[in-house]
Chains A and B, each alone.
Chain A
Amino acid sequence: MTKEMTGAEMVIQALADQGVQHLFGYPGGAVLPIYDALFTQERVRHILVRHEQGAAHAAEGYARSTGKVGCVLVTSGPGATNAVTGLTDALMDSIPIVCITGQVPTHLIGNDAFQECDTVGITRPCTKHNYLVKRIEDLPRILHEAFHIASTGRPGPVVVDIPKDIQFAKGAYFKPKDFPHTGYKPRVKGEMEAIKHAIALMANAKKPVFYTGGGIINSGNAASDLLRELVKLTGFPITSTLMGLGAYPSADPQWLGMLGMHGTLEANMAMHDCDVMVCIGARFDDRITGRLDAFSPHSKKIHIDIDPSSINKNVKVDLPIIGDCAHVLEDMVRLWRTQALRADAKALEAWWAQISKWRARKSLAYRPSNEVIKPQYAIQRLYELTKDKDVYITTEVGQHQMWAAQFYGFNEPNRWMTSGGLGTMGYGLPASVGVQLAHPGSLVIDIAGEASVLMTMQELSTAVQYRLPIKIFILNNSYMGMVRQWQELLHGGRYSESYSAALPDFVKLAEAMHAHGIRCEKPGDLDHAIKEMIDVDKPVLFDCVVDPMENCFPMIPSGRAHNEMLLGDAAMSLEEAITEEGKMLV
């Protein structure tokens, strides 16, 4: 069924047809026709952000917490360039986004017109795909194809650049049933022979480990359920990347904690010493592997990924399986059951005994204090006081992000929104705006650093405008903490430009922006303050003043392998750990 309408109306119609309820955007000259079309309808709700980067991050938070495609609408030139950070972030973390950008009229393209930029040129390397629409006849297909490409295969951001004359032009709107692209056909089913081989390897493993990532979350809830089933069936230990937290419950005894640069000792040691590694929806990123030539030297590596280019990119694997995590996991669970396979119980027992020794080192331990709030303690209290609620966590980037990953327990997928690949400071606040819109009744907390949060602080105004009671929990250590930590450890303690001088009074800032401000400086006041934060039905800026010199441990120092981790001084030495364990045996 086709219908005559303008290009601008087609945009809104296509969004509505795709089930889009929220659109994050900022108007400008080259998108005015689309804003005009928005004005006369009620199907799509527009959320006015304060900066286009915020729109993209809000859409990311929305997408990550719902599994749907996040939508952005920005103008040409600076509107598009401001969105680039969010698009790159979405590309690195495989988040489905459709970003519609206005463009100068077709006849002015290339003339250096007002607010013109080469949007498709600029966004080509930071999108999964992009389009410049030059004919109104192409617009309906391109709009729907954008959603198809963003959400299928390995998800990612797609830009549709629409010149202003195309927005005014009239044409026939239709919703295509399928897409003739012969070049784009993501593979979802894994090759059965390879899956059988993988199952056989797993059944014979003596020291196996599951290493999972954000691909499980992207694959949907079914993938998380199947993963839990497979982990229970096999009895293997499981660790996950930063992006994969929540796919497997952190409360479960088979959970080793996060792996990688700031992962737990037991997770990294298990990765190093394992004989069979089952990597599902992760990509052997450099934060995970440490020194490549010493990465898990004695293991057979199985790698399940929907993107063939992830295979053998950093680490050579023995058994690649191209397919969607949920499909492959379903086949694995079925095969394991129908073949009535059993893991090697005796070998596993020895393997778990070894893992408990590593666990007994308590690699996340820190020195508690009654005087100053330790950042780890703050996260622990936040977790204890919110864990029974319907809670979603976003973060900025830095030490606070790692402490959140280490000390906040995630038991469900889609509850943890963080910038993993790109490491974008300023992600968390706008992301929490998107999350709160998608989950109006839930508790949404942005665990932040005082430096990160200032990068996109203006989005607090968005939260106030739409009555989104997000909680911004700032671990304020007056430093760009991760930068300071590296300067301490690697650059002789020369804290070059990493001190946050002239910080605002966050309480007054909150009040000036019609939000609620809380400041807490003493460990004894923390619980009460957190409860206040939860109870206030408004956006809250929580200034939690923490120990400025605390470092994030454990860590894999640069150029080192997984078994060469640096532990904090509160962790148990090998001898202590042994006696500690001895005590527990008694």
Chain B
Amino acid sequence: MNAPTISHYPSAPAAQKIETHTLSVLVDNEPGVLARVIGLFSGRGYNIESLTVSETEHQAHLSLVTIVTTGTPMVIEQIKNQLDRLVPVHRVVDMTLAGSCIERELAMVKVRGKGEHRVEALRLADAFRARVIDATIESFVFEITGASDKIEQFIALMLPLGLVEVARTGIAAIRRGPDAL
């Protein structure tokens, strides 16, 4: 028999494996809809690793919210069901379960430096297919698009070369093949 606790609530369940999932959520583009989605996450103690929102179908007033979240399989299931329960939510698709999907994000990376560091930064940017979108005598702003790990890697390489600022969009995801969401 377990030792009784002093609380009248059951104790927390034993730790389970944590998974990362990307969810595509199609919502009515109306005021407050984003607050409903993120309020659900904060209110129920779910994690948001990345969040991207934009109107995708202007005529139908629909926006696509792409959320990267983490949790146990049971919690991920809950998150999807809770999202689906919101009235302005049309569909929730688990892109991680849906099979092969493409995930991309865009980052703008500002690097400040002179001499050899500057040349090295340009050389690496070229290898990563990052574009120079702003330059001064002592700085570059690179634009890089790709999967998150590629961006992470690029940022890590820029760190010793004078990285001063990063702006990232968060993940957008789409399924491979001919089928639509």
Contacts and interface: CB of A to CB of B under 8 A. Distances in A.
B74 A289 contact: no
Contacts of A558: 4-10
A308 B8 contact: no
Interface in B34-48: 35-36, 39-40, 43
B177 interface: no
Contacts of B5: 558-559
Interface residues of B, number: 35
B4 A309 contact: no
A202 B137 CA distance: 78
Contacts of B40: 125
A576 interface: no
Interface in A358-399: none
Interface string A252-292: 00000000010000000000000000000000001001111
A559 B10 contact: yes
Contact of A312 (B2, B36, B74, B85): B74
Size category of the binding interface on chain A: 35 or more
A271 B78 CA distance: 25
Interface stretch (B63-71, B86-94, B138-146, B164-172): B86-94
Contacts of A129: 87
A125 B10 contact: no
B39 A557 contact: no
A290 B35 CA distance: 34
Contacts of A559: 2-5, 7, 10-11
B35 A183 contact: no
Interface in B49-77: 74, 77
A128 B11 CA distance: 29
B2 A311 contact: no
B1 A183 contact: no
B9 to A, nearest CB: 6
Most A-side CB within 10 Å, residue of B27, B43, B77: B77
A232 interface: no
A372 B10 CA distance: 35
B87 A291 contact: no
A560 B89 CA distance: 39
B81 interface: yes
Contacts of B14: 293
B87 A286 contact: no
B1 A564 contact: yes
A201 interface: no
Contact of B85 (A124, A290, A307, A486): A307
Interface in A283-319: 286, 289-293, 307-309, 311-313, 316
A560 B2 contact: yes
A128 B36 CA distance: 11
B178 interface: no
A308 B7 contact: no
B35 A309 contact: no
Contact of B39 (A124, A182, A292, A308): A124
A30 B90 CA distance: 34
A183 B87 contact: yes
Nearest to A294: B2
Interface string B77-103: 110011011111111000000000000
Given A125-B39, A182-B90, A291 B2 contact: yes
A542 to B, nearest CB: 30
B46 to A, nearest CB: 12
A183 B39 CA distance: 18
Interface in A170-205: 181-184
A307 B36 CA distance: 18
B87 A181 contact: yes
A490 B28 contact: no
B35 A557 contact: no
A312 B43 CA distance: 19
Nearest to B89: A183
B7 A309 contact: no
A149 interface: yes
B8 to A, nearest CB: 5
Interface string A556-586: 0111100010000000000000000000000
Interface string A450-488: 000000000000000000000000000000000000100
Most B-side CB within 10 Å, residue of A134, A182, A286, A491: A182
B35 A124 contact: yes
Contacts of B3: 559
A309 B2 contact: no
B115 interface: no
Given A120-B32, A559-B3, 17 more contacts: A124-B32, A132-B31, A132-B32, A181-B87, A183-B27, A183-B90, A289-B10, A291-B2, A308-B85, A309-B84, A309-B85, A311-B81, A490-B6, A557-B4, A558-B5, A558-B7, A558-B8
10 A-B pairs with the lowest CB-CB distances in the bound complex, closest first: A309-B81, A559-B5, A183-B90, A129-B87, A308-B81, A184-B87, A125-B43, A558-B8, A309-B82, A558-B5
13 contacts: A124-B35, A290-B10, A291-B2, A293-B14, A308-B81, A312-B77, A490-B4, A558-B8, A559-B3, A559-B10, A559-B11, A560-B4, A564-B1
Interface of B: 1-11, 13-14, 27-28, 31-32, 35-36, 39-40, 43, 74, 77-78, 81-82, 84-91
Interface of A: 120-121, 124-125, 128-129, 132, 134, 149, 181-184, 261, 286, 289-293, 307-309, 311-313, 316, 486, 490-491, 557-560, 564
